[in-house]
Amino acid sequence: MYDAGNTFERQPIRLSLQATRQHLNNFSSQWDNKTQKQAQKIYQIMLEQVADSYNKKRVGRVEPRVRKRRPKAYPLMQEPRSVLRAKMKSA
């Protein structure tokens, strides 16, 4: 990601990690039994593909850091389920 960002003048932090992993998996089989020059050309093509996965900064995308679900009003289970079932049946 760092090489792709520097080569194609992109911020490496803005490149997609998942897209980079997918491109690396796709291109890794093409490097077998290649000369150094051929492997370098394949590497440059892969860097170009990775650089195309540039995520533009999305203005106004702020999410609050809060918990969505509220805690339930039920007590914690402190005894085995079978004991609690027996208590419920007798009550």
- Angle, CA 71 vertex, CA 61 and CA 88 arms, to 5°: 150
pLDDT, averaged per 10 consecutive residues of the chain (91 residues), comes to: 89 87 89 88 91 78 75 87 92 79
Of 39, 55, 58, 40, give the one whose Cα is nearest residue 1: 55
How far the first Cα of the chain sits from its last, in Å, is: 64
Q: Is residue 82 part of a domain?
A: no
pLDDT at 62: 75
Q: Is residue 34 part of a domain?
A: yes
Domain ranges, residue 20: 1-56
Cα–Cα distance measured from residue 42 to residue 68, given in angstroms and rounded to the nearest whole number: 46
Q: Is residue 86 part of a domain?
A: no
Q: Is residue 68 part of a domain?
A: no
Burial of 69 (0-12, 13-18, 19+ CB in 10 A): exposed
